[in-house]
Amino acid sequence: MSTLPTISLAKLSANATREEEGDRLRVVCEEYGFFYLIEHGIPKEQIAEAIDASRRFFALPPATKERYSHAFQDVYPATARGYSPLLGEMLHPEAGPDPKEMFDLGIESEGDRRPFAGRTHFPDATLAPGFAQSLLALQATVLNGVVPQLGNALADLIEMEQGWFQRHFSAPTVLQRVIRYPSTGGAAAKHTDDGFFTLLLQEELPTRSLQVWLHGRWMPVPSLPDSLVVNLGDMLQALSDDRFFSTPHQVVHSGRTDRISLPFFIYPDVDAQLTSREGTYTFSVAEMMLRNFKSIWETGDGAGRARELQ
């Protein structure tokens, strides 16, 4: 195929079409690990508001943005929240630091001292109008609408017991990110995501910046109107006993405008201990997430299975 397949969230959720669309999703997960999600129910205006507010935030002076950097966040690890400047993160050691800037947030939880939990130190509405408000509103829509429906469908496909998804995702761990790729030379080096699955909301630009490693080559992924891009993560690959693929991908952006990207990295409850159906893999969610963050931010070994990607 010259582009990714599409899956309809509405069909996955409807009694009349659930089984047929679920069968299509199984094939897509086994052969691609990446797909467009259509009929997802997220208002286009809500995505546009978050993108516009993010663009205004990134236009602030560097010294102002630095006041919301990792050093001023009260979570563990500190690199899970707040602002990171250009060349602040390295997803693959051979490529070096990525030319992109970011702001990370999560589910806001007062007084929660577990890894990846707590509150984000945001700029206020006077400094960055609509920034926190639009991102948190979008988070609520994603968590209440898309995640339960898609997550339950994926849990069924890996043949987990009834109620498995509700038990381990009633309090999910979410790493929500806003990324600005500069118009010339913006990039995110090749990597895999380490979570259950990732939802990517993005601008509909003519550039085909996202690239997916499929069938031995890098395949450009154009923006498809009114869709999200979904990719499977390393945790889901493990829980499927390697039947599903956590597919490598990268971003190479060059165009007339910067590119704003809004990924949601979806994980189970951070306290969960999970075992695949056939018992091939057992892992702690917190330990796997912390190991990945150490690889990115401390040892410089890259994200996910980056070291396997030559």
pLDDT in tens, 183-237: 988 999 999 999 999 999 988 777 789 999 998 999 999 888 899 999 999 999 9
With CA atoms as reference, report the closest residue to 58 among 297, 198, 259, 204: 259
- Dihedral sign of CA atoms 239, 240, 242, 246 in order: negative
Q: Quote the mean pLDDT of the chain.
A: 95
**Domains of the chain as residue ranges with CATH:** 6-308 (2.60.120.330)
Which range is least confidently modeled, 83-87, 124-128, 242-246, 304-308? 304-308
Output the pTM of the full model. 0.96
Are residues 250 and 229 in contact, defined by beta-carbon separation less than 8 angstroms? no
**Is pLDDT above 60 for 92?**
yes
Can you give the pLDDT at residue 99?
A: 97
What residues contact residue 263 under an 8 Å CB cut-off, 6+ apart?
A: 176, 177, 179, 198, 199, 200, 201
- Give bridge partners of residue 201 from the DSSP assignment: 262
Can you give the pLDDT at residue 2?
A: 61
Can you give the pLDDT at residue 310?
A: 61
Are residues 211 and 219 in contact, defined by beta-carbon separation less than 8 angstroms? yes
- Write out the two tokens for 34: 């990446």
Share of the chain above pLDDT 90, in %: 90
Are residues 102 and 83 in contact, defined by beta-carbon separation less than 8 angstroms? yes
With CA atoms as reference, report the closest residue to 268 among 243, 235, 290: 235
